[in-house]
Amino acid sequence: MTTSLTLYDIPSTLPSKTWSPNVSKVRYVLNYKGLPHHTEWVEFPDIEGLYKRLGAQASATKPDGVTPYYTLPLLHDHSTGALVSDSAAIARYLDKTYPETPSVIPKGTDAFHYAFTEALQSHFRATALWRITLAKSNSILNPVSEEYYRRTREASLRLGGQKLEDVVPKGEEREREWAKLEEVFGKVDAWYGKGDRYVMGDVVSYADFWVSASLMWVRKLFGVDSKEWKDISRWHGGRWGALVKDLEKYEAVF
C-alpha cells in the first residue's frame, strides 16, 4: 500500500523525540494499520503558523469558546488533501478512508469509544496527575518550546505568580495523590472483562491506545527505571506494564 501521510508532532530532548500522549494515540493507530507515514516536528510556538500555512481548522477553542486552539496532533493526508486534528477524529478518519486496514473503532462501537474516553478523562481530571506531570513535561522540551510552554501554561492556569514547579505536589501530599491515581486506575481495571488483555476482549482498539498512550507518557517523562513507572507498571496485577509492553511494537517513529 502506498500512502502519503504526514503526522505533525512536538519534539523533545528525549532520544525518541516524541512524548505527547495525544500524538502517541495517532502513531499507535498508524502503525497498527500499517499505514506508511512520516513525522514532521513542530515546536510549540510554530503550531499556529503551521495550521494557517496549511489552511487547517482547529478542532478546539480556548476557554472563551471563540478563539481557535491550535494543537497537535495534526494529520495531513496528501492523497486526499484532508487535514485532520484531534486524535479521535484522526482515528475515525483513517478507519473510513482506509477500510482495508484493521479497524481501531469497529463498526457499532463508536458511541462506546466516546463514552470510554470521556469517562477516562473525567477520572484523570479528579487526580493531580496534571500537577505531577506539568513541570516534568516542560523540562524535556527544547528551549524554544520550553519557554512558550512555561509562559502560556503559567498564564492560562492562573498560578498567581507561582512557577510550574511550585504546583507539583510534594511529600505527604504527593503520596496521597499517587494513591488516588492508583485508585483511579483500579476503577479502569474493573472495566476490563476478567482475564481480558484489551478493553474489547482479545481485539485491540482505539480505547487501548488511549490508555497505553497515557501510561507511556508517564514512562517517557519519568524514565523506565523510575519509581513512578515501576509503581504503575505493577498496579493491578501488572496490567498496565503488560499493556504498554504488548503495544510497544506500534510505538515506532518514522
**pLDDT tens across the length of the chain (254 residues):** 566 999 999 999 999 999 999 999 999 999 999 999 999 999 999 999 999 999 999 999 988 899 999 999 999 999 999 999 999 999 999 999 999 999 999 999 999 999 999 999 998 888 888 889 999 999 999 999 999 999 998 888 877 788 999 989 999 999 999 999 999 999 999 999 988 999 999 999 999 999 999 999 999 999 999 999 999 999 999 999 999 999 999 999 99
Q: What is the DSSP letter of 102?
A: P
So what's the pLDDT on residue 2?
61
So what's the pLDDT on residue 156?
81
CA distances (Å), 68 to each of 22, 30, 35, 47, 51, in order? 18, 26, 30, 12, 11
**Are the beta carbons of 174 and 182 closer than 8 angstroms?**
no
Where does residue 43 rank: exposed (0-12), middle (13-18), buried (19+ CB within 10 A)? Answer: middle
How does DSSP assign 29-97, residue by residue?
HHHHHT--EEEEE--GGGHHHHHHHHTPPPSEE-TTSSSEE--S-EEEETTTTEEEESHHHHHHHHHHH
Helix, strand or coil for residue 161? coil
So what's the pLDDT on residue 159?
75
Q: Domains in the chain, please, with CATH?
A: 5-97 (3.40.30.10), 109-250 (1.20.1050.10)
So what's the pLDDT on residue 63?
84
Phi, psi of 7 (to 5 degrees): -105, 125
Helix pair angle (206-222, 129-139), 10° resolution: 60
Radius of gyration in angstroms for the set of CA atoms belonging to the chain, rounded to a whole number: 18
Residue 53 has which C-alpha cell? 500555512
So what's the pLDDT on residue 1?
56
**pTM across the whole model:** 0.95
Dump strand ranges (E) for the chain: 5-9, 37-41, 60-61, 68-69, 74-77, 82-85
